[in-house]
Chains A and B, each alone.
Chain A
Amino acid sequence: MNLFYLISAVCFILGLKRLSHPRTARSGNFLAALGMLIAIAATLASSNVLDLNLILIGVGVGALIGFLFATRVQMTEMPQMVAIFNGLGGAASALIASAEFLSNPNSPYIIVCLSVFIGSLTFTGSFIAFGKLQGIISGRAITFKGQQLFNALIAIASLVLILIPNLITSDLMTAFIVIIILALILGVGLTIPIGGADMPVVISLLNSYSGVAAAATGFLIDNQALIISGSLVGASGLILTNIMCKGMNRSLANVIFGAVGAESSTGSSAEGKEMNIKSYSTTEAAMILDAAEKIIIVPGYGLAVAQAQHVAREVADALESKGKKVYYAIHPVAGRMPGHMNVLLAEANVSYDLLKDLDEINPEFEDCDVALILGANDVVNPAARHDQSSPIYGMPILNVDKSKTVIINKRSMNPGFAGVQNELFGYDNSIMVFGDAKDMLNSLLKEIKEL
């Protein structure tokens, strides 16, 4: 029995390892899926008290829903989708621990509660994240007075109930139910104060939690497959969380408790200054691009919202056919989840070796003729380098302002998600082309081809 779980764990590890290169990644994912199949088959074969009819129903319903999700989702909606999956993973772990506790009240109470607590928190946290990404709930940070105290009290109460329940009640069943309710509330409480631009961190963290919840459940039901896979995922989520925090030069605590992006945090020095904004037409922008040799495209969340990834690639193709060099600069926290822009551009058929990350592309801006900013904002704000009063001060940015010309496409002058006005827009070498990214790029494409 455990031998099969070992084989599937090896499949997961090798699969994740193969995920580290685009060439082998697909086979890695396949290997991991195979590992899962082995674990499921071994489990079904190991016990003769399982209700196979019910199992068939459950797997059928789940597989159908999963299939529909996976085949229908737009690439731009990938962050929402991952948020939902994280939440369901958490819910599954919490439900398994509950089922175990209800059918056997003598199960180890602390492990039951830890598993239920992390799972429930992941569940509501992920669904709030989903709501924010989907626009059902305001994407801005939602804060109220005493919020952190409120969350802290819930966390402490839960810990006491998990570790020393006898202090409060001798009825473990009641304590168990109260813990579930507290965890569900805490998941909401911890996620609503986080602004849209910080979503990549939250999604990564919830990803990690869903793994930890599975590992905790593994301890409860004494199952090594759950422990190994759960800790792999927990580690992976934590690594991504760290990379995302570094991408913003902020600590995890600051992201979770800082509430950057709330209505109140718009205090920036650039706001007081008059900016000299130069608004150009696509015809003029096309002429500037036509005179350029080296062009770097900087995509951001706005590109995803406008679904403009395909036409962006067509513009790049048109420029390349005129003998120009075109690269893409991808900031680690561009978009709403780790790697969001890469997936979008891959969907648009952009070769992955043209996608350059921050360290690789920054020296290239020095001799770049045009930086074309498509729906990115905070990640190109030079205030992050010098303005100590800016909320994004210290964040590593793409040095687009070093290019000869910066063309910025935006829908309007609204500030980015961090609530900061971007001083780049007023720079002498900056020009703005207003409009929806897709419409703008379509007319730009026409102009370039006509030149």
Chain B
Amino acid sequence: MDVNLITIFILAIFVGNEIINKVPPTLHTPLMSGSNAISGIAIVGALLAIKVGGEIGTYIGLAALICATINVVGGFLVTDRMLKMFKKK
């Protein structure tokens, strides 16, 4: 395993810690659904698995692609729907 990848992994955890610690309780649900949509980044891996003539790997990749797309599209849309409602009068 590449040390560079581990470095990126560790640094990203620190960044995540820093920025998310400041989210107020009011926004916890949108944070969760929004970050959930971001974890749909697995869609990139699913795309790369769908190769021409890739047989079984391609079909499993297709299943992964459907799951990940639901996650991405549904996640960002529902987060937007919630955030639209947060208003100050």
Q: Which residues of A contact B (CB under 8 A)?
A: 9, 12-13, 15-17, 19-23, 25-26, 28-30, 32-33, 35-36, 39-40, 43-44, 47, 49-51, 54-55, 57-59, 61-63, 65-67, 69-71, 73, 75, 78, 81-82, 85-86, 88-89, 91-93, 95-96, 98-100, 102-103, 108, 111, 203-204, 207, 210-211, 213-215, 217-219, 221-237, 239-240, 243, 330, 332, 337-340, 342-343, 346-347, 349, 351-353, 355, 357
Query: Counting chain B CB atoms within 10 Å of each CB, which of A96, A225, A228 scores highest?
Result: A96
Q: Tell whether, in the assembled complex, residue A26 and residue B46 are in contact, meaning their CB atoms are under 8 Å apart.
A: no
Q: Tell whether, in the assembled complex, residue B36 and residue A342 are in contact, meaning their CB atoms are under 8 Å apart.
A: no
- Please name all residues of chain B whose beta carbon is closer than 8 Å to the beta carbon of A62 when the two chains form the complex: 65-70, 72-73
Min CB distance, A352 to chain B, in Å? 5
As a 0/1 sequence over residues 49 to 89 of chain B, the CB contacts with chain A under 8 angstroms (1 = contact) are 11111111110111111111111111111111111111111
A28 to B71, CA, bound (A): 18
Q: Bin the interface of chain B by size.
A: 35 or more
Task: Give the residue name and chain of the A residue nearest to B12 (CB).
Answer: A231
- 5 interchain pairs, CB-CB under 8 A: A29-B76, A36-B76, A65-B66, A207-B36, A225-B44
- Please name all residues of chain A whose beta carbon is closer than 8 Å to the beta carbon of B41 when the two chains form the complex: 12, 36, 39, 214, 225-226, 229-230
Q: Tell whether, in the assembled complex, residue A352 and residue B30 are in contact, meaning their CB atoms are under 8 Å apart.
A: no
Q: Tell whether, in the assembled complex, residue B19 and residue A13 are in contact, meaning their CB atoms are under 8 Å apart.
A: yes
Min CB distance, B68 to chain A, in Å? 4
Task: Give the residue name and chain of the B residue nearest to A221 (CB).
Answer: B45
Q: Tell whether, in the assembled complex, residue A99 and residue B16 are in contact, meaning their CB atoms are under 8 Å apart.
A: no
Find A227's partner among B12, B20, B51, B61 (CB 8 Å cutoff). Answer: B12
- Please name all residues of chain A whose beta carbon is closer than 8 Å to the beta carbon of B73 when the two chains form the complex: 62-63, 66-67, 70
Q: Tell whether, in the assembled complex, residue A229 and residue B39 are in contact, meaning their CB atoms are under 8 Å apart.
A: yes
Contact A231/B13 with A65-B70, A67-B73, A339-B31 known, Cβ cut-off 8 Å: yes
Contact A233/B39 with A32-B76, A58-B46, A69-B74 known, Cβ cut-off 8 Å: yes
Q: Which residues of B contact A (CB under 8 A)?
A: 1-2, 5, 8-9, 12-13, 15-17, 19-58, 60-89
Q: Tell whether, in the assembled complex, residue B35 and residue A20 are in contact, meaning their CB atoms are under 8 Å apart.
A: no
- Please name all residues of chain B whose beta carbon is closer than 8 Å to the beta carbon of A355 when the two chains form the complex: 26
A85 to B56, CA, bound (A): 25
A227 to B5, CA, bound (A): 8
Q: Tell whether, in the assembled complex, residue B52 and residue A70 are in contact, meaning their CB atoms are under 8 Å apart.
A: no
Contact A240/B31 with A92-B46, A111-B1 known, Cβ cut-off 8 Å: yes
